[in-house]
Chain A
Amino acid sequence: MKIISLEEAVGTRLAHDITEIRPGEFKGAAFRKGHTVCEEDLCRLQRLGKNHLYILDLAADEIHENEAAAILAEALAGEGVVWENNPREGKIELYAAYDGLLRVDIPSLAAFNLVDEVVCATLHNHTMVKRGEKIAATRAIPLVMKRAAIQRAAAIGRANGGAVAVRPLHQAQTGLIITGNEVFHGLIQDRFARFSPKRWRPWDRLSRPWSFALTRPRPLPGPSRVNWPRGVTYCS
């Protein structure tokens, strides 16, 4: 890697994204990798604190942060995870491909994060996520690093089908059974059923529409011997 002054940099192509942070306003790439530096850029680069730029001359066993991030994202992403292969500042974000339950392989993630110079952060394991929701991000920390370390991290992240996955929600048929003589004989009005769907809203997407039934109380048999009334569905 060679360092050149800004004046010398005019006409050269940037070897990496240059980040700009304006507190409360903007945080992102002011210039993208591959941008050709021109005279008009110099003032802005200086405002960003850049008086020198790097020219990369990668050795055969080295890898650029963006290429590394692409390898890491591909390895970490398991079932139900999508990402855009357009690393920004050496980082790629992973998104849920559909509504579901986030499944993080914690040992694999821990082992991945113990490899020097790579990192992956995720939402908490077993979080309910929606399609398109950001669930994780990974990045290679230095601008240039050894390819072997990235390949090793990728192998760890890839183990068991990817450290980050979204499990589709199980479309279980659900129902509600309310028991009790008083309700069954109409001595009292059931007031539980009308609250239940609202109260159990988080499960709604698990289920088909709720169905309700009132049934006579009966001695509790063994679970396998329950003889539910016809037409009544129940939680599986």
Chain B
Amino acid sequence: MKRVSLARFTELLSGSVAAHGHLCPGQVVGVRMGILGLRLLEFDIPPTLPQLKQLIVFVEMDRCTGDAVAHVTNVKLGRRSLKFVDYGIMAATFINLATSQAFRIISTEASRDLALLYAPGLTKREAQLQAYRMMPDGAMFQVQEVKVDLSEFDLPGPTRWKVTCSKCGQVVRDHREVERHGQTLCRPCALGAYFSSPRNIAWPEMDWSPGSPESLLDRPGCLQAADRGQGGVRE
């Protein structure tokens, strides 16, 4: 397995902190988790472009750790290489599509208690920040080799399938539709949604677009709307 120097780890952590917005124990755990996942798959850190095309990561929590994992592995929701499953578990699964190898890495609860031993004399939060840099992977994580069945409709690449919900008319992509009593429905119509009482509205400045003349005036070097009465374009 490829080793990561402390300097490289620190660099990855700094990048993750900048992307996420703050340093916290979850960031350190996430960076360690991401590194371990890539090492288990024998990928470079960060992955090369060909490796990135073979990498899928499932994160099981929407916490700081998830952002750090995504930063280290360079997976993205929009590229379909990052998947979120809302289990509320500090775990992530790293999959190599080329080999079908998959490792689920779980952050141990014991590591939280051990932090005060690895970095004594500090507050719990400070101890965690310090200890998670020193604790061996074996103490921080449990790893399971798992099988993940991904359908072709879960993979990165262009949309492979579209249908229209027969109730609301929305287009549903990648086979996320539901068949109910012979009808093809989107999930909100078939199963209910995280929102309720939807109602279409109108809003101010509905005529705005980034390419509208109003927006063009917002470019640097152009007069703002409030200045327009005083002259033309600045030199």
Q: Please list the residues of chain A having a beta carbon within 8 angstroms of any beta carbon in chain B.
A: 106-108, 110-111, 114, 152-153, 155-156, 159
A156 to B136, CA, bound (A): 6
Q: Nearest residue in B to A151 (C-beta to C-beta)?
A: B138
- A155: chain B residues within 8 A (beta carbon): 136-138
Minimum CB–CB distance for A145 against chain B, Å: 15
A152 to B110, CA, bound (A): 14
A159 to B139, CA, bound (A): 10
Minimum CB–CB distance for B139 against chain A, Å: 4
- Number of B residues near A (Cβ < 8 Å) is 13
Do A114 and B138 have beta carbons less than 8 Å apart?
Answer: no
Do B117 and A110 have beta carbons less than 8 Å apart?
Answer: yes
Do B136 and A159 have beta carbons less than 8 Å apart?
Answer: yes
Contacts A155-B136, A156-B136, A159-B136 given: A111-B142 contact, CB under 8 Å?
Answer: no
Do A114 and B114 have beta carbons less than 8 Å apart?
Answer: yes
- A159: chain B residues within 8 A (beta carbon): 136, 138-139
Do A107 and B138 have beta carbons less than 8 Å apart?
Answer: no
Query: Which residues B130-184 have CB closer than 8 A to chain A?
Result: 131, 135-139, 142
Q: Nearest residue in B to A106 (C-beta to C-beta)?
A: B117
Do A156 and B138 have beta carbons less than 8 Å apart?
Answer: yes
Minimum CB–CB distance for B127 against chain A, Å: 11
Minimum CB–CB distance for B109 against chain A, Å: 9
Contacts A114-B110, A152-B142 given: A107-B117 contact, CB under 8 Å?
Answer: yes
Do A156 and B117 have beta carbons less than 8 Å apart?
Answer: no
A108 to B135, CA, bound (A): 8
Judge whether B118 is part of the interface by a CB distance below 8 angstroms: yes
- A153: chain B residues within 8 A (beta carbon): 138
Q: Nearest residue in B to A109 (C-beta to C-beta)?
A: B117
Contacts A114-B110, A152-B142 given: A107-B137 contact, CB under 8 Å?
Answer: no
Q: Nearest residue in A to B142 (C-beta to C-beta)?
A: A152
Q: How many A-B residue pairs have CB under 8 A?
A: 34
Do A152 and B138 have beta carbons less than 8 Å apart?
Answer: yes
Minimum CB–CB distance for B88 against chain A, Å: 22
Q: Nearest residue in B to A157 (C-beta to C-beta)?
A: B138
Q: Nearest residue in A to B145 (C-beta to C-beta)?
A: A148
Q: Nearest residue in A to B113 (C-beta to C-beta)?
A: A114
Do A111 and B110 have beta carbons less than 8 Å apart?
Answer: yes
Q: Nearest residue in B to A113 (C-beta to C-beta)?
A: B110
Do A110 and B138 have beta carbons less than 8 Å apart?
Answer: no
Q: Nearest residue in A to B134 (C-beta to C-beta)?
A: A107
Minimum CB–CB distance for B47 against chain A, Å: 25
- A108: chain B residues within 8 A (beta carbon): 136, 139
Q: Besides the contacts A107-B117, A110-B117, what 7 more A-B pairs have beta carbons closer than 8 Å?
A: A108-B136, A111-B117, A111-B135, A111-B139, A114-B114, A155-B136, A159-B139
- B131: chain A residues within 8 A (beta carbon): 107
A155 to B135, CA, bound (A): 11
- A156: chain B residues within 8 A (beta carbon): 136, 138-139
- A111: chain B residues within 8 A (beta carbon): 110, 114, 117, 135-136, 138-139
- B114: chain A residues within 8 A (beta carbon): 107, 110-111, 114
Minimum CB–CB distance for A75 against chain B, Å: 10
A111 to B139, CA, bound (A): 6
Can you name 8 A-B residue pairings with CB atoms under 8 Å? A107-B118, A107-B135, A110-B114, A110-B117, A111-B114, A114-B108, A156-B136, A159-B139
Q: Indicate the member of A107, A110, A114 with the most B CB atoms within 10 Å.
A: A107
- A110: chain B residues within 8 A (beta carbon): 114, 117
A155 to B114, CA, bound (A): 16
Minimum CB–CB distance for A124 against chain B, Å: 15
